[in-house]
């Protein structure tokens, strides 16, 4: 087997031009990882439920489980074959054997602690392994961890990944918009609800919001940062999914998209072309919001009628669109005239200015929310939380669940009750409303794997975030997946990890870890 050469791929990251898969620079197990990641990003979200929406969670989770088990087994056989043939040295990079990154070590520790928590759980191990209710249990944790670890070693980044997300989003967007308009293109004889609480091949609108929280930031950043002509595929996909987000009106999705924007914006405004393309994204957002404000749907089981009326809000958005797109065109013209010359201010200075401006806006928003006394439910609940108050009804009933989580953590603070056991733990409290998740991934981990497990998981996320932020200025592709990861983490702060949504995050996280390693190794070798 010919020794792999890593340098071209690493140099591509530093130059900001990572093209499609450079096969001459990849070993065959890296190609396997590439196609596995591509399948999870582009095909997995499109898999429908075998019996309609009623079992879509089980269908998707089983698909992810078996595909990942095969991937893990094949990777294990490759490694074993290399070792037995004494060719393991050929799997090393040019700089020597790959050492575990801090993120990999922390995730491994989290997986080991979860196993220990499961073994010591008072619940039957079969329930811990599979998880109770819709929970994924210890098996899910090990699968997600394996995906991250394998891709963080062998998951070469490719511009195919964000383009594949755009293609998948296009298909989803078309299906969802047709359903919103009343067409029964999926499961016409089954659960195709007139109230559109189930959409596309995702299902429940909370899960739809989770996919949007991941994909929409990646599409926006992909359009701005990619250099391939295929980046224009991101625009219609972005517009359609953003409209679905406005239509479903899931508060969690709005907060997740706002958080992703805050993280990504300092990295998107460092070049004239990037600023212009960011303004294009802003213009499309304004148009989508204007269209959403003009359309009113009236639904019955038999039919859907649509009313179109242009109001003051829509005219303001359309005027803003004209301004944004005109500014974008002017910047593109200026950039072409100057032949892509750098801005007079350094990229680092721009990032600091934008981050400082964002900090001021965030502080002002917090002050406003702290003093808020209006009638908006969401704003009022946030205001109460800032005052240290949490009503039982907050977050459509999440408040009482979060309070119960604190009680559960106090009862088993170290080891928890075992992965996937939250449903059984909370069952006695499901008197008026059913909850089989904590609707906050961090609290649920604290309940099921104890404070040690929670600390390891948070430390893993922090280490990956810190390492990514240090490298992102020299590797713009990281911003594409990094913004998507932020959207997912905000989503799981208010919802939960589920096999319909979470596989996309773990694929992206593993590839991000590998990208960071590549840039760091290249810089050390110079």
Residue 100 has pLDDT above 80, yes or no: yes
Q: Which two tokens stand for residue 476?
A: 């713009």
The mean-pLDDT minimum among 130-144, 469-483, 485-499 falls in 130-144
CA distance 500 to 199: 13
Average pLDDT (74-80) is 81
- Contact criterion met (CB below 8 Å) for 164 and 38: yes
Asked if 221 contacts 480 with a C-beta cutoff of 8 angstroms, the reply is: yes
Question: What is the predicted pLDDT for the residue at 496?
Answer: 86
Answer yes or no: is pLDDT of 403 > 70.
yes
pLDDT band at 482 (very low <50, low <70, confident <90, very high): very high
> What is the pLDDT of the chain when averaged over all its residues?
86
Provide mean pLDDT across the span 99-118: 94
Give the confidence band of 96 by pLDDT, cuts at 50, 70, 90. very low
* Tens-place pLDDT, residues 177-213: 988 888 777 765 555 444 567 888 998 889 999 999 9
> What is the per-residue pLDDT for 304?
76
Distances (CA, A) of 15 to 141, 153, 173, 522: 36, 22, 33, 12
What is the band of 21 on the pLDDT scale with cuts at 50, 70, 90? very low
Residue with tokens 């905000």: 490
Instruction: Give the CA radius of gyration of the chain.
Output: 24
Residue 12: its pLDDT value, please? 47
Q: Is the pLDDT of residue 243 over 50?
A: yes
Instruction: Say if residues 409 and 452 touch (Cβ distance below 8 Å).
Output: no
Q: How close are the terminal C-alpha atoms of the chain, in Å?
A: 27
Average pLDDT over residues 136-163: 92
What are the tens digits of pLDDT across the range 373-386?
877 777 887 888 88
Yes or no: say if 362 and 262 are a contact pair by the CB < 8 Å rule. Answer: yes
Structure-block tokens of residue 159 = 């511009």
Number of Cβ within a 10 Å radius of residue 136: 23
Whether residue 109 has pLDDT greater than 70: yes
Strand partners, 306: 297
**Between 377 and 358, residue with greater pLDDT:** 358
Percent of the chain with pLDDT over 70: 86
Band of pLDDT at residue 93, cut at 50, 70 and 90: very low
Residue 146 CB partners (closer than 8 Å, separation 6+): 68, 72
Residue 172 CB neighbour total at 10 angstroms: 24
Q: CA–CA separation, 332 vs 273, rounded Å?
A: 6
Q: Worst-scoring range by mean pLDDT, 77-91, 152-166, 255-269?
A: 77-91
pLDDT bin (cut points 50, 70, 90) of residue 25 is: very low
Bridge partners, residue 199, by sequence = 203
Q: Which residues pair with 296 in a beta bridge?
A: 307
- Tokens 């892509």 found at: 340
pLDDT digits (tens, 9 = 90+) for 253-289: 999 999 999 999 999 999 999 999 999 999 999 999 9
Number of H helices, E strands in the chain: 19, 4
Question: Could you read off the pLDDT of 29-76 as tens digits, one per residue?
Answer: 788 899 999 999 999 999 988 877 778 888 999 999 999 999 999 888
Cα 361 to Cα 262: distance, rounded to the nearest angstrom? 10
Q: Which residue has the higher pLDDT, 16 or 288?
A: 288
pLDDT grade for 16, boundaries at 50, 70 and 90: very low
Question: Cβ contacts of residue 248 below 8 Å, gap of 6+?
Answer: 196, 199, 205, 208, 209
Bridge partners for 308 per DSSP = 295
How does residue 428 score in pLDDT terms, banded at 50, 70 and 90?
A: confident
Cβ atoms of 311 and 289 closer than 8 Å: no
The band of 97, judged by pLDDT with boundaries at 50, 70 and 90, is low
pLDDT tens track for 303-315: 778 888 898 999 9
Phi then psi dihedrals of residue 295, to 5 deg: -100, 135
- Fill in the DSSP letter of residue 433: S
- 4 pLDDT tier (thresholds 50, 70, 90): very low
For the record, the structure tokens of 151 come out as 């891709």
Burial class, 405, CB count within 10 angstroms (exposed 0-12 / middle 13-18 / buried 19+) = buried
What's the pLDDT tens digit per position in 346-357? 989 999 999 999
Query: How many CA atoms lie within 13 Å of 188's alpha carbon, on the beta-carbon side?
Result: 6
| pTM above threshold 0.85 | yes
């Amino acid at each position: 087997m010919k020794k792999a050469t890593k340098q071209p791929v690493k140099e591509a990251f530093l130059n900001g031009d990572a093209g499609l898969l450079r096969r001459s620079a990849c070993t065959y197990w890296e190609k396997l990882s590439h196609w596995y990641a591509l399948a999870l990003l582009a095909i997995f979200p499109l898999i429908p439920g075998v019996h309609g929406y009623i079992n879509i969670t089980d269908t998707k989770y089983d698909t992810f489980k078996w595909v990942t088990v095969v991937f893990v087994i094949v990777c294990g056989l490759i490694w074993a074959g290399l070792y037995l043939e004494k060719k393991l040295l050929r799997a090393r990079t040019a700089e020597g054997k790959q050492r575990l990154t801090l993120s990999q070590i922390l995730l491994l520790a989290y997986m080991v602690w979860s196993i220990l928590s499961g073994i010591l759980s008072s619940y039957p191990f079969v329930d811990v392994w599979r998880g109770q209710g819709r929970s994924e249990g210890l098996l899910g944790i090990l699968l997600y961890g394996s995906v991250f670890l394998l891709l963080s070693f062998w998951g070469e980044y490719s511009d195919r990944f964000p383009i594949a997300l755009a293609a998948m989003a296009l298909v989803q967007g078309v299906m969802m918009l047709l359903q919103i308009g009343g067409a029964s293109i999926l499961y016409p004889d089954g659960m195709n609800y007139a109230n559109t609480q189930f959409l596309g091949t995702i299902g429940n609108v909370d899960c739809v919001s989770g996919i949007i929280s991941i994909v929409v930031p990646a599409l926006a950043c992909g359009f701005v940062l990619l250099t391939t002509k295929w980046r224009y595929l991101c625009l219609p996909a972005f517009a359609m999914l953003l409209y679905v987000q406005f239509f479903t009106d899931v508060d969690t999705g709005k907060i997740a998209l706002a958080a992703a924007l805050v993280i990504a914006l300092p990295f998107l405004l460092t070049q004239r072309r990037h600023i212009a393309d960011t303004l294009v994204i802003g213009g499309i957002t304004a148009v989508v919001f204007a269209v959403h404000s003009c359309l009113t749907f009236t639904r019955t089981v038999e039919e859907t009628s649509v009313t179109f009326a242009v109001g003051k809000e829509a005219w303001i958005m359309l005027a803003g669109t004209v301004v944004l797109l005109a500014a974008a065109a002017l910047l593109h013209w200026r950039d072409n005239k100057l032949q892509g010359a750098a801005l007079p201010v350094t990229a680092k200075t721009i990032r600091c200015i934008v981050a400082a401006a964002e900090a001021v806006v965030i502080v002002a928003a917090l002050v406003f929310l702290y003093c808020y006394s209006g009638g908006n439910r969401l704003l009022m609940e946030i205001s109460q939380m800032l005052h240290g108050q949490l009503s039982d009804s907050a977050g459509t009933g999440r408040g009482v669940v979060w309070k119960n989580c604190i009680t559960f953590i106090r009862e088993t603070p170290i080891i928890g009750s075992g992965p996937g056991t939250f449903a059984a733990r909370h069952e006695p409290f499901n008197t008026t409303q059913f909850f089989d998740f904590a609707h906050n991934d961090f609290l649920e981990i604290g309940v099921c794997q104890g404070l040690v497990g929670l600390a390891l998981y948070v430390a893993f996320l922090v280490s990956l975030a810190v390492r990514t932020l240090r490298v992102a200025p020299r590797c713009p592709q990281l911003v594409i997946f990094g913004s998507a990861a932020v959207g997912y983490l905000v989503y799981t702060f208010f919802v939960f990890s589920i096999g319909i949504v979470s596989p996309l995050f773990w694929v992206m996280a593993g590839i991000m870890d590998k990208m960071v390693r590549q840039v760091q190794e290249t810089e050390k070798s110079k």
